[in-house]
Structure 1
Amino acid sequence: MPDNGSDRVRLADSSVRVSRLGLGCAPLANMYDVLSDEAASATVDAAWAGGVRYFDTAPHYGLGVSERRLGAALAGRPRAEYAISTKVGRLLVADPDGAGRSDDGFLVPADHRRVWDFSADGVRRSLEGSLHRLGVDRVDLVLLHDPEFHEQAAIDEGYPALQDLREQGVIGAIGAGSTQWEVLHRFVTRTDLDAVMIAGRYTLLEQPALDALLPACSTRGVAVLNAGVYNSGLLAQDAPDPSSRYDYRPVPAHLLARAQAIAAVCARHQTTLPAAALAFAAAHPAVACLVVGAATPGQAARNAALVAAPPAPAELWSDLFAEGLLRPNAPVPADGCPDG
């Protein structure tokens, strides 16, 4: 990893370049906790100050709240200096009857509902809505969001629609994003994606994407945007505890124990679990960018500082291998450079 997150990497053969550290913007949409517009904007400002020039959002995040807050926070900054990705697959449909309720998982009024739609028309309508909420005339990367739920439609209809938009120059790059590495592997081998966003499946805690997805991306030149590298917060703490979340749910006991064991090894080598988690997640050569969420300016600043910090000693990784806490074929930071 470079000295800061602003070093740019091109996504495959596209014109889109992203910083090595990106901001995941789901937390800006009142995910679990209510934020003010001002607090959300301050978080984006802190990420920017830390070198972040890539921002990922989606209509799904707070029923459009994330997109609106991100667009407002970036307004006035030179458009050529940053990249935005958003997602398609869920259309937002007005639902006046839900205005008095809170959206599940995001503490916002449920005045819209999500409708799965990977059709060509649905993709275009979703993108139009996102551009309006973001207040921009283009987005750099559009990701098919959780296509495993409607895989055939996403491949047969959604992907060709994005391909047309890419050829027309309306968008810069196409990707797919999911927590399921298997569906992303199928997209990589069956389509001409520029990027995949894998969430939570290539982390210091677990590496199921290592055997098939990441090698396929390397072979085909598909950039990997590694998201969820803290496993929804479990690896974001120096000392994980039972209140930690894993995949947005309470952490299972066996995974908590594993995370605590990794944290203990980190402490022996004068580093922290979050620092090691970021360094490891960036070390695979297929990984172009880490996409890390933040709900506060302090979290955004800490992530940027950890990315820029000197690497952990090689003995850390040796001990994790020796204790069976890391797969023996996993690339790790080497020769003092966290890029591996």
Structure 2
Amino acid sequence: MPFARLATATTPTCHIGLGLAAVGRPGYINLGRDNDLGEDRSAETLRARSHELLDAAYAQGVRYFDAARSYGRAEEFLAGWLTARPDVDDVVIGSKWGYTYTADWRSDAETHEVKDHSVQTYERQRAETAELLGDRLDLYQIHSVTPDSPALTDKELHAKLAEAAERGTTIGFSTSGPAQAEAIRAALSVTVDGEPLFRTVQSTYNALETSAAPALAEAHDAGLTVIVKEGMANGRLAGPHAPEPVRAIAEQSGMGADAVALAFVLRWPWAGVVLSGAATTLQLASNLHAAVVDLDDDQLARLAALVEEPAAYWGRRGQLPWH
């Protein structure tokens, strides 16, 4: 398991990773993106920004980096950084397949990504990822599994994934939508030759959306590494968009609302890695302060009171504009 490398890390930030969804393509749904990126979103500008973020994250103790085929050119940017930094040999690299990027480097595209969990898509995207990341890829995840995903029942796909696992790639899955817990439990039952197929799970969990917590605890108890995404709810728990309790706790702690939001996730023993989706180095530095935020019982209760019904949360997320 590549995540065993993180187990020996001693930095406060060893449980925080950097996701590249926000900087691998010109359009995304995070709030505040116009201020974060400005008008120049050329491939070269975002490549430079990605490398700057990766340098800053590594220097501050981050050792897990997360990309996906649908994150525009994120894999390409990450691969270029790894090539330019041959001394970096202690990081864990994860990516995902199952969505195809279709926006053609436009923020105003009608469709930004198309989902397909077929064997054919896996084989095509696995080859594309291999061309960029080669043997630096540690973890390959099915992107956004839902309870009705064919990836949960396709035996041919399972066999292909098991072959990749035999060659040394850890196989995982991510989840999205109001039925995350159901998808997680279904994935835990997937086996090949009597052995569990998946070794990691990446799910959305934050103060507004906590419904996956019991299933994530079960996955952790079953030996999977849990990666948490969207800990700031695509910006709804950060900066000026944060609810009043989050801003108040941030003021009490002397940290940013983003650090408070991520600290709420880090407190769970099942949370192996919590992703920062920072688009600037200042955001990254603020996110990493989560490692030293100590929330008391009263503060935790105030944050827990923010929870929304899963259908309402995902409905609102689905309405966030790409910009």
Same fold at TM > 0.5: yes
Contact 1:118–1:154 (CA<8 Å) still a contact in 2?
no
1:209 and 2:212 equivalent? yes
Describe the shift of the 1:147–1:234 C-alpha distance in structure 2 as closer, same or farther (beyond 3 A).
same
List per-residue Cα deviations over 1:14-57 (Å, max 9, x = no partner): xxxx9411100111222344260222211111111111111100
Structure 2 equivalent of residue 31 of structure 1: 27
List per-residue Cα deviations over 1:102-157 (Å, max 9, x = no partner): 26579xxx9xx8664433343232111012233x3341001001232861245314
Structure 2 counterparts to residues 10-49 of structure 1, below 5 A: 19-29=14-24, 30-32=26-28, 33=37, 34=41, 36=45, 37-49=47-59
Mean alpha-carbon deviation: is it higher for 294-303 or for 266-275?
Answer: 266-275
Describe the shift of the 1:103–1:128 C-alpha distance in structure 2 as closer, same or farther (beyond 3 A).
farther
CA distance in structure 2 between the partners assigned to 1:124 and 1:88 by the alignment: 10
1:70 and 2:78 equivalent? yes
Contact 2:266–2:291 (CA<8 Å) still a contact in 1?
no
CA distance in structure 2 between the partners assigned to 1:284 and 1:42 by the alignment: 30
Mean alpha-carbon deviation: is it higher for 218-227 or for 264-273?
Answer: 264-273
1:317 and 2:317 equivalent? no
SS at match of 2:284: helix
1:176 and 2:161 equivalent? no
Mean alpha-carbon deviation: is it higher for 116-125 or for 286-295?
Answer: 116-125
Describe the shift of the 1:272–1:316 C-alpha distance in structure 2 as closer, same or farther (beyond 3 A).
farther
Deviation at 1:319, TM superposition (A): 5.0
- Counterpart of 1:218 (choices 220, 227, 230) is 220
Structure 2 equivalent of residue 139 of structure 1: 137
The one-letter amino acid of 2:187's match is F
The one-letter amino acid of 1:51's match is G
Deviation at 1:325, TM superposition (A): 4.0
Contact 1:90–1:126 (CA<8 Å) still a contact in 2?
no
Structure 1 equivalent of residue 34 of structure 2: none
Contact 2:50–2:77 (CA<8 Å) still a contact in 1?
yes
Deviation at 1:58, TM superposition (A): 0.6
CA distance in structure 2 between the partners assigned to 1:149 and 1:210 by the alignment: 17
CA distance in structure 1 between the partners assigned to 2:227 and 2:74 by the alignment: 19
Structure 2 equivalent of residue 151 of structure 1: 149
CA distance in structure 2 between the partners assigned to 1:320 and 1:129 by the alignment: 41
Deviation at 1:89, TM superposition (A): 1.6
Mean alpha-carbon deviation: is it higher for 113-122 or for 173-182?
Answer: 113-122
CA distance in structure 2 between the partners assigned to 1:90 and 1:154 by the alignment: 16
CA distance in structure 1 between the partners assigned to 2:148 and 2:107 by the alignment: 22
CA distance in structure 2 between the partners assigned to 1:168 and 1:49 by the alignment: 31
Contact 1:279–1:311 (CA<8 Å) still a contact in 2?
yes
CA distance in structure 1 between the partners assigned to 2:153 and 2:100 by the alignment: 17
- Counterpart of 1:54 (choices 64, 70, 83) is 64
The one-letter amino acid of 1:31's match is G
Describe the shift of the 1:74–1:315 C-alpha distance in structure 2 as closer, same or farther (beyond 3 A).
same
List per-residue Cα deviations over 1:265-284 (Å, max 9, x = no partner): 44355554222211110111
SS at match of 2:212: helix
The RMSD of aligned alpha carbons is 3.2
Contact 2:146–2:176 (CA<8 Å) still a contact in 1?
no
List per-residue Cα deviations over 1:55-102 (Å, max 9, x = no partner): 10011012xx11111111222334531111111223568xxxx86x72
SS at match of 1:70: helix
Describe the shift of the 1:19–1:161 C-alpha distance in structure 2 as closer, same or farther (beyond 3 A).
farther
The one-letter amino acid of 1:317's match is L
Equivalent pairs, count: 276
CA distance in structure 2 between the partners assigned to 1:208 and 1:230 by the alignment: 15
Structure 2 counterparts to residues 104-123 of structure 1, below 5 A: 116-123=115-122
Structure 2 equivalent of residue 332 of structure 1: none
Deviation at 1:313, TM superposition (A): 4.2
The one-letter amino acid of 1:142's match is Y
CA distance in structure 2 between the partners assigned to 1:90 and 1:297 by the alignment: 28
Contact 1:144–1:158 (CA<8 Å) still a contact in 2?
no
